[in-house]
């Protein structure tokens, strides 16, 4: 069997082996539009720096970024405002709490959000993006994503509307942050940016390209261009390892060991640096995109996490 065929077979087998795990989860229902997705879908794409891609499953499906967007706005805010400005307003400590928890904003003065991967931190980061309106901020974000993925991405208006109508918890977080002085723009504007960035639609290939650039410290190997600094990429990877899978980040680091970020849509983005993949078919690093909309109570794709674990084990990929 050709090498490429062998690797393709690995991802095809993985999807078939773990698709059934979807039964142990459910599509997110607190965002009504997400509840309508097919819970049995599972897809994966892996892309190396030469553009070599293997993919399997429902890889043509479009799905929304949800919390995966938090990594991207964090990077963009650092590019716009500089790392010190961002870190003055949001910390880099994991919480062990659920992603939409409000508890630490009051129990730890001065109410600085713990990290950019939880909703409180992400809303703060979205408020910092440069632009005079939500639409200017989002245009910048979409342009940044177009550079990485090579195609124009769009916001799924129905998903946005469905969350905008039901975003009571996020609204509460945003008002609390405004009260303690952490928002750079009015509450409704910060929320609009945050919820629209969550509703940007991608495929697993788009996610894999994003992972590839983060794995290569901000350098886009296909464009041969440095898109953001190594310092910011390092910070993004550290945040993905410590906070990217929410209150399952510890177990994810222990049993999988890759910088990754999940979203309640069932998306998982993983960045595999070269030192973590020396013995894999992608010895100079790769990006991985996974989609499996049935999630567990923490918010991570059930089948997706199993599939990523399988690939990381099979290809001996780990940063540790």
Instruction: Give the residues lining the site for ligand DON (CB under 6 A).
Output: 66-67, 99-100, 119, 163, 170, 198, 246, 262-264, 299
Closer CB to ligand DON, residue 263 or residue 273? 263
Closer CB to ligand DON, residue 99 or residue 291? 99
Q: How many C-beta atoms surround the C-beta of residue 29 within 10 A?
A: 10
Least distance (Å) between residue 52 CB and ligand DON: 29
Closer CB to ligand DON, residue 160 or residue 282? 160
Cα 268 from chain centroid (whole Å): 6
Q: How many C-beta atoms surround the C-beta of residue 160 within 10 A?
A: 21
User: Which residues are tagged catalytic?
Assistant: 67, 70, 194, 246, 264
Least distance (Å) between residue 293 CB and ligand DON: 12
Annotated binding-site ranges for substrate: 67, 119, 163, 170, 194, 246, 264
DSSP state of 273: -
Lookup result for tokens 């991608």: 202
Asked if residue 267 lies in contact with residue 291, where contact means CB atoms within 8 angstroms, the answer is yes
In 3-state terms, what secondary structure has residue 227?
A: coil
Least distance (Å) between residue 54 CB and ligand DON: 26
CA neighbor of 120 nearest in space, from 103, 107, 140? 103
Closer CB to ligand DON, residue 101 or residue 262? 262
Asked if residue 90 lies in contact with residue 238, where contact means CB atoms within 8 angstroms, the answer is no
In 3-state terms, what secondary structure has residue 58?
A: coil
In 3-state terms, what secondary structure has residue 59?
A: coil
Cα dihedral angle (256, 295, 90, 177), rounded to 10 degrees? -170
Least distance (Å) between residue 143 CB and ligand DON: 21
């Amino acid at each position: 069997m050709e090498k490429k065929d062998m690797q393709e077979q690995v991802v095809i087998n993985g999807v078939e082996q773990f698709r059934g795990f979807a039964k142990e989860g459910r599509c997110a229902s607190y965002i009504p539009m997400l509840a309508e997705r097919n819970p049995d879908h599972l897809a994966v794409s892996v892309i190396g720096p030469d553009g070599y891609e293997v993919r399997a499953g429902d890889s043509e499906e479009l799905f929304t970024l949800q919390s995966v967007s938090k990594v991207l706005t964090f990077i963009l805010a650092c590019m716009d405002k500089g790392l010190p400005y961002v870190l003055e307003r949001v910390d880099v400590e994991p919480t062990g709490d659920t992603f939409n928890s409000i508890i630490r904003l009051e129990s730890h003065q001065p109410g600085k959000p713990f990290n950019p991967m939880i909703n409180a931190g992400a809303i703060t980061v979205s408020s910092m993006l440069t632009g005079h309106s939500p639409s200017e901020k989002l245009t910048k974000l979409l342009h940044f994503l177009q550079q990485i993925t090579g195609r124009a991405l769009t916001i799924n208006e129905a998903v946005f509307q469905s969350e905008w109508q039901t975003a009571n918890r996020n609204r509460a977080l945003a008002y609390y942050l405004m009260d303690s002085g952490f928002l750079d723009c009015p509450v409704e504007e910060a929320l609009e940016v945050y919820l629209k960035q969550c509703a940007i639609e991608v495929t697993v290939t788009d996610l894999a390209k994003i992972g590839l650039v983060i794995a290569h410290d901000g350098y886009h190997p296909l464009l041969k261009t440095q898109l953001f600094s190594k310092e910011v990429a390092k910070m993004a990877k550290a945040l993905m390892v410590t906070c990217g899978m929410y209150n399952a980040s510890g177990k994810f680091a222990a049993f999988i060991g890759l910088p990754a970020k999940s979203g309640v849509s069932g998306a998982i983005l993983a960045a595999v640096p070269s030192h973590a993949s020396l013995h894999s078919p992608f010895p100079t690093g790769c990006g991985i995109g996974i989609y499996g909309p049935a999630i567990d109570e923490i918010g991570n794709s059930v089948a997706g996490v199993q599939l990523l674990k399988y690939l990381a084990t099979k290809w001996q990929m780990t940063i540790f």
